[in-house]
C-alpha cells in the first residue's frame, strides 16, 4: 500500500515490558536446558538402520534421474527438450573440435568429450538447464598441462633430408594419455569432495574472483588461438610470464603470416560476428537462433575440399578424424604424481563454473540445485569420461543459455544433443577432415565475447565495492602473469586475506538514542542520535575474536575517551600517596601521644593538687585532638569513594577545570558531592554498554579480553554491561566460565535499551530517568 495516497497515519507500535537481563530472559522465555539431538550412539544406530523409505531416499539423492524421469511430462516438455537438444547438439560439433585444439588434442577428442560426460550428468546431475561438455577455460588448463609434459621438442625425429620433424602421432597419443589421467584424477577429487559434503568450498570462490579468473583465462585462450589465425608457429613457453613471452614471439613472427589463412580467418570472423549480433538483436522474434557456427564449419569444409586450400595455399586443416568410438581403457596412473596439483585446480575451477551457472538457472526457474550432488555428478562425468578418452568437462555458458532460451526443461535435452554428436562421430566425422583450423579458432574467439564483456565489472565495482574490485584485479593480473594454476592459488590466497583484513579492520562507533524510541544509532552518522549523559554505548561492526580483540580494546578506550592504563597508573600513584600520608599522620599522632603521656607524668609528680587539676585539663584537650588525627583517615560508611575513571589526568584537570580540592577533600565527600564534582569537571561517564549483537562467536582470546575489560574498568569504579548477546554466544561464554560473582548474568541484557533503562533506574540518577521514557514508539 502506498502510504502517501492514503489518509492512514504511519504505522506505529508501543512497547511496554519489564527490563530483561539474561537471568530474567531465561525465566520469561523458558530457556531450554536440554538438547533435542539424540545421543551419539543413537545417531550411529539410526544411520546404520536400513528401511525401505530410507533406501528410496538415498537412491533418489544419489541418482536424481529416478526422481524426475518417471514423472516426465511429455506434453509440456518434449517439444522444448527436442528443439533445445538439437540446437545444443549442433553447437557441440564445432565447439568440441575447436576446444580440443585449446587442449592441444586432436579435434575428435573434443567430440568424445561432448558425448559421454553429457550422458553421465543426465543420470546424476540436479540442474535442468546447464550444458555439460567442453569449455574454453578448462580446455586451456588441460592444454597447459599436456604441452608442459609433452612438448614438441620431445618428439622430434630426423627426416630423410636431415631436417627435423615432429612425430605428431606419437605426440598426440601421449598427450591424450596425459589428458585422460588428469581427467580421472580430477573426477576422483570431485567425487571425494562431494561424498564428504564439501560443496561449501565453492563459497570461497567469490563472484569477483571467478569472473576475474575467467576473464584472465579468456586472454590465455585468445593468445593461444592467434597462431592459427595468422598461420604462424610461435615457440612454446611455460611457467610465469609465459603469456607475455608468447605474445612477444607472435608479434615477432607477424611478417611470416600466411596471407590466405589470415583471409579465411577474417572472413569467418566477419560472418560469425554479424550473424551472432543478428541473433542477439532478434532473439525474441527468432524461433531458433541461427546456427551460424555449424554453417560456417560446413561451408568452410566444402570450400577447402573443392578448392584444395591445404595443398594450394598451405592452409592448416583438421586432418584425419577416425570414425566410430573406441573401447574404454584405464588411464595411466603413473602420471598422477605429475598432474595432481593441476587436477585439483581443474576440479575446483570446473565445479565453481558449474555450480554458479546451475544456481543461476535454478533461481530463475524456481528449483533447487544440490551443491554436493553436483560435485558427485561432475566427478562421475569426468571419471567415466576419462575411460573413453575424454578430457575434463564443465558447463558452458553459451550452450547453457541456448539450451534454456530454446525451451529446454530437463536434461533430456542433453541426451538429444549427445545423439547428434554420436551420429557425427560414427558417420560424419571424416567429412570434416578438410576443415581449416583457422575457422575453429574464430569460433573460439567469437564465443569469448561474453567473457571479455566482464571487463565492464571494473567500473561497476569501482562504484560499488572497491575491495571486490581489488580481488577482481589481483585475480586477473595474477592469472595473466602466473598462468592458470599459480594464478588461481594466488587469487584464493588474496581473497582470504581480504576477508581477514575486513575482520581485522572493522568500524567502531558510539551509539546514541533517537529521542522517543528504543533505537540506538551511530552518533557520527545520525544527527538525531544523542548520547545519554553518563553512559557510553560502544559497538563493533564485526565479531570479536583473536585477530581483532586487541584493537577492540584500543578502540573502546579511544571512542570513550577513557585511557584505562593511564587511569590505573594514576590511581595506583594516588593510593600509594594516600597510604604514605596516612602512615605519616599515624606516626605523627603516635609521637604526639607519647609527648602528652610524658607531660602528664611529669606534671603529676611536680605540681600541687590545684595545679595538677589545671594541668590535667590541657592534656585531655590535646588527647582529643590526637584521637581525631588518628581516626581522620578512616572512611565512614556514609562517605563516597573516589572514582578515578573521571580523573583523566589530574595535573591537567586540576589546572584546567579548577577541581583542585586535594585528596583529603575527595575522600571526605559524600556520594552526592562526588557526583556534583564530576558534573562540574565535565567527567560524568559512570557506565559503559558493550553492544555485541554483531558477534556470532567468541574464542578464548575474546573471552579473556571481555574479562579484562570488566576487571580493569571495575577497578576505576566504572560499570560495564553487555547487550544484544546471541544465545549461541551466551552458551559459549558459559562454557568458558565467563560468568562469576564479579561478572554476574545480571550484567547481560537482551538489548541496549534494556541496559540503559536498568542503569537509569539505579540510585543516583534520578534526573536522567525522566529523560528516558519506558514506553517507546516507532
CB neighbour list of residue 684: distance below 8 Å, 6 or more residues apart: 533, 534, 646, 678
The per-residue pLDDT for range 380-418, each reduced to its tens digit, is: 999 999 999 999 999 987 788 778 877 888 999 999 999
Residue range 325-339: average pLDDT?
90
Helix (H, G, I), strand (E, B) or coil at 165: strand
Q: Where are the alpha helices (DSSP H) in 308-396?
A: 309-313, 336-365, 371-387
- Written as one string, the DSSP assignment of 466-522 is HHHHHHHHHHHHHHHHHHHHHHHHHHHHHHHHHHHHHHHS--EEEEEEPTTSS-EEE
How far is it, in rounded angstroms, from Cα 234 to Cα 164? 17
Judge contact between 426 and 119, C-beta under 8 A.
no
In this prediction, residue 765 carries a pLDDT of 59
pLDDT band at 618 (very low <50, low <70, confident <90, very high): very low
Higher-confidence position of 451 and 735: 735
Average pLDDT in the 340-358 region? 87
The DSSP symbol for 152 reads G
Which residue blocks in 20-73 are alpha helix, DSSP H? 22-29, 40-48, 52-62, 65-68
pLDDT at 123: 94
Q: Which residue has the cell 553429457?
A: 118
Closest CA to 541 of 497, 496, 504: 504
Per-residue pLDDT at 702: 92
User: Rounded to an integer, what distance in angstroms lies between the CA atom of residue 768 and that of residue 535?
Assistant: 11
Q: For 561, what's the count of Cα atoms within 13 Å in the CB-facing half-sphere?
A: 14
Contact 325, 426 (CB under 8 A): yes
CA distance 584 to 591: 11
pLDDT at residue 670, as a whole number = 41
Residues 124-175: tens digit of each pLDDT: 999 999 999 998 889 988 988 998 899 888 888 765 444 567 888 899 999 9
Which residues on adjacent β-strands are paired with residue 722? Answer: 690, 748
Identify the band that residue 605 occupies on the pLDDT scale cut at 50, 70 and 90: low
Q: What is the pLDDT of residues 44-90, one digit of tens each?
A: 777 777 778 888 888 888 899 998 999 888 888 888 899 888 888 88
Assign 282 to helix, strand or coil. coil
pTM, two decimals, is 0.71
What's the confidence (pLDDT) of residue 562?
85
Cα–Cα distance measured from residue 577 to residue 666, given in angstroms and rounded to the nearest whole number: 14
CA distance 421 to 393: 16
- Residues in contact with 687: Cβ distance below 8 Å, sequence separation at least 6, in sequence order: 534, 535, 536, 718, 719, 720, 721, 759
Examine the pLDDT at 546 and tell me if it is beyond 50: yes
**Domain annotation for the chain: domains and CATH numbers:** 66-156+166-501 (no CATH), 508-565+682-777 (3.30.750.24)
3-state secondary structure 581-644: HHHHHHHHHHHHHHHHHHHHHHHHHHCCHHHHHHHHHHHHHHHHHHHHHHHCCCCCCCECCCCH
What is the three-class DSSP state of 160?
coil
Residues in contact with 435: Cβ distance below 8 Å, sequence separation at least 6, in sequence order? 97, 297, 300, 301, 304, 317, 318
Calculate the alpha carbon distances from 55 to 49, 146, 350, 599 in Å. 10, 43, 31, 107
Is 465 strand, coil or helix? coil
Q: What is the pLDDT of residues 237-275, one digit of tens each?
A: 777 888 899 999 999 999 989 898 899 999 999 998 999
The pLDDT score that the predictor gives to residue 755 is: 92
Question: Between β-strands 520-522 and 508-513, what pairing exists: parallel, antiparallel or unpaired?
Answer: antiparallel
Q: Please, which pLDDT band fits residue 774 given cuts at 50, 70 and 90?
A: low
Contact predicate 761/778, CB 8 Å: no
CA atoms of 492 and 205, how far apart (whole Å): 7
- Contacts for 685 with CB less than 8 Å, ≥ 6 apart: 534, 535, 536, 560, 561, 562, 645, 646, 718
Is 70 exceeded by the pLDDT of residue 492?
yes
532 CB-near residues (< 8 Å, 6+ apart): 512, 513, 756, 760, 768, 771, 772
The 10s digit of each residue's pLDDT in 427-486 is 888 888 888 888 888 887 887 887 788 899 999 999 998 999 999 999 999 989 988 778
**8 Å CB contact between 91 and 405:** no
Question: What are the tens digits of pLDDT across the range 190-216?
Answer: 999 998 888 777 677 788 888 888 888
For the chain, the average pLDDT equals: 81
| Cβ contact 111:440 at 8 Å | no
| 682 or 729: which leads in pLDDT | 729
Angstrom CA distances, 319 to 41, 60, 322, 323, 425, stand at: 64, 45, 10, 13, 15
Q: How would you class 479 by CB atoms within 10 Å of its CB: exposed for 0-12, middle for 13-18, buried for 19 or more?
A: buried
Q: How far is CA 122 from CA 190, 192, 363, 410, in A?
A: 17, 20, 20, 9
Cβ(129)–Cβ(356) under 8 Å? no
> Looking at the chain, how many residues does it have?
778
Amino acid at each position: 500500500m502506498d502510504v502517501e495516497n492514503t489518509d492512514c497515519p504511519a504505522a506505529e507500535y508501543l512497547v511496554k515490558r519489564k527490563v530483561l537481563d539474561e537471568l530474567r530472559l531465561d525465566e520469561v522465555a523458558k530457556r531450554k536446558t536440554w538438547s533435542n539431538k539424540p545421543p551419539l550412539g543413537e545417531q550411529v544406530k539410526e544411520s546404520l538402520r536400513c528401511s525401505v523409505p530410507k533406501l528410496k531416499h538415498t537412491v533418489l539423492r544419489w541418482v536424481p534421474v529416478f526422481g524426475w524421469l518417471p514423472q516426465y511430462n511429455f506434453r509440456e516438455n518434449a517439444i522444448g527438450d527436442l528443439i533445445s537438444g538439437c540446437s545444443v547438439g549442433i553447437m557441440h560439433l564445432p565447439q568440441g573440435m575447436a576446444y580440443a585444439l585449446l587442449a592441444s588434442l586432436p579435434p575428435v577428442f573434443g567430440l568424445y568429450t561432448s558425448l559421454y560426460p553429457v550422458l553421465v550428468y543426465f543420470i546424476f546431475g540436479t540442474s535442468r538447464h546447464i550444458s555439460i561438455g567442453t569449455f574454453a577455460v578448462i580446455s586451456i588448463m588441460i592444454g597447459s598441462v599436456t604441452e608442459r609434459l609433452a612438448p614438441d621438442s620431445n618428439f622430434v625425429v630426423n627426416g630423410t633430408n636431415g631436417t627435423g620433424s615432429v612425430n605428431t602421432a606419437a605426440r598426440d597419443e601421449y598427450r591424450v594419455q596425459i589428458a585422460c589421467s588428469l581427467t580421472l584424477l580430477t573426477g576422483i577429487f570431485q567425487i571425494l569432495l562431494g561424498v564428504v559434503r564439501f560443496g561449501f568450498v565453492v563459497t570461497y570462490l567469490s563472484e569477483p574472483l571467478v569472473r576475474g579468473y575467467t576473464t584472465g583465462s579468456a586472454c590465455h585462450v585468445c593468445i593461444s588461438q592467434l597462431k592459427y589465425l595468422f598461420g604462424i608457429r610461435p615457440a612454446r613457453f611455460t611457467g610465469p610470464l609465459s603469456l607475455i613471452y608468447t605474445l612477444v614471439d607472435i608479434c615477432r613472427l607477424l611478417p611470416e603470416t600466411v596471407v590466405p589463412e589470415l583471409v579465411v580467418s577474417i572472413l569467418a570472423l566477419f560472418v560469425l560476428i554479424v550473424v551472432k549480433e543478428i541473433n542477439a538483436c532478434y532473439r525474441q522474434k527468432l524461433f531458433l537462433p541461427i546456427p551460424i557456427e555449424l554453417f560456417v564449419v560446413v561451408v568452410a569444409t566444402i570450400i577447402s575440399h573443392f578448392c584444395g586450400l591445404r595443398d594450394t595455399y598451405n592452409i592448416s586443416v583438421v586432418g584425419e578424424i577416425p570414425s566410430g568410438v573406441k573401447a574404454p581403457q584405464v588411464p595411466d596412473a603413473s602420471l598422477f604424481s605429475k598432474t595432481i596439483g593441476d587436477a585439483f585446480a581443474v576440479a575446483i575451477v570446473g565445479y565453481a563454473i558449474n555450480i554458479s551457472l546451475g544456481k543461476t538457472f535454478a533461481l530463475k526457474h524456481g528449483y533447487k540445485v544440490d551443491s554436493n550432488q553436483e560435485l558427485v555428478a561432475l566427478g562421475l562425468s569426468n571419471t567415466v569420461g576419462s575411460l573413453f578418452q575424454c578430457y575434463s568437462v564443465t558447463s558452458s555458458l553459451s550452450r547453457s543459455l541456448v539450451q534454456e532460451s530454446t525451451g529446454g526443461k530437463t536434461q533430456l535435452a542433453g541426451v538429444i544433443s549427445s545423439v547428434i554428436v554420436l551420429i557425427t562421430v560414427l558417420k560424419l566425422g571424416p567429412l570434416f577432415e578438410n576443415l581449416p583450423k583457422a575457422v575453429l579458432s574464430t569460433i573460439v574467439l567469437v564465443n569469448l565475447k561474453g567473457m571479455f564483456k566482464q571487463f565492464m565489472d571494473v567500473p561497476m565495482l569501482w562504484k560499488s565495492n572497491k575491495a571486490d574490485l581489488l580481488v577482481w584485479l589481483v585475480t586477473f593480473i595474477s592469472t595473466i602473469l602466473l598462468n592458470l594454476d599459480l594464478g588461481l592459488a594466488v587469487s584464493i590466497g588474496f581473497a582470504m586475506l581480504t576477508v581477514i583484513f575486513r575482520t581485522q579492520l572493522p568500524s567502531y562507533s558510539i551509539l546514541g538514542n533517537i529521542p522517543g524510541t528504543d533505537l540506538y544509532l551511530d552518533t557520527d552518522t545520525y544527527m538525531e542520535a544523542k548520547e545519554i549523559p553518563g553512559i557510553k554505548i560502544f559497538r563493533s561492526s564485526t565479531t570479536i575474536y583473536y585477530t581483532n580483540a586487541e584493537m577492540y580494546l584500543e578502540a573502546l578506550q579511544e571512542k570513550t575517551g577513557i585511557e584505562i592504563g593511564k587511569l590505573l597508573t594514576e590511581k595506583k600513584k594516588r593510593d600509594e600517596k594516600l597510604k604514605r600520608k596516612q602512615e605519616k599522620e599515624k606516626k605523627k599522632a603516635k609521637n604526639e601521644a607519647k609527648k602528652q603521656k610524658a607531660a602528664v607524668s611529669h606534671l603529676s609528680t611536680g605540681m600541687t593538687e590545684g595545679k595538677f587539676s589545671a594541668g590535667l585539663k590541657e592534656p585531655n584537650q590535646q588527647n582529643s585532638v590526637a584521637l581525631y588525627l588518628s581516626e581522620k583517615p578512616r572512611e565512614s560508611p556514609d562517605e563516597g569513594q573516589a572514582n578515578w575513571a573521571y580523573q583523566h589526568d589530574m595535573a591537567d584537570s586540576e589546572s584546567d577545570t579548577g577541581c583542585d580540592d586535594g585528596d583529603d577533600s575527595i575522600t571526605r565527600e559524600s556520594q552526592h558531592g562526588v557526583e556534583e564534582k564530576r558534573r562540574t569537571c565535565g567527567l560524568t561517564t559512570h557506565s559503559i554498554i558493550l553492544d555485541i549483537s554483531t558477534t556470532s562467536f567468541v574464542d578464548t582470546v575474546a573471552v579473556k579480553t571481555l574479562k579484562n575489560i570488566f576487571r580493569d574498568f571495575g577497578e576505576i569504579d566504572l560499570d560495564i554491561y553487555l547487550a544484544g548477546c546471541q544465545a549461541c554466544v551466551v552458551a559459549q561464554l558459559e562454557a568458558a566460565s565467563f560468568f562469576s560473582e564479579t561478572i554476574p548474568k545480571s550484567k547481560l541484557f537482551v538489548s541496549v535499551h534494556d541496559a540503559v533503562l536498568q542503569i537509569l533506574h539505579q540510585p543516583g540518577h534520578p534526573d536522567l530517568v525522566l529523560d528516558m521514557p519506558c514506553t517507546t514508539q516507532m
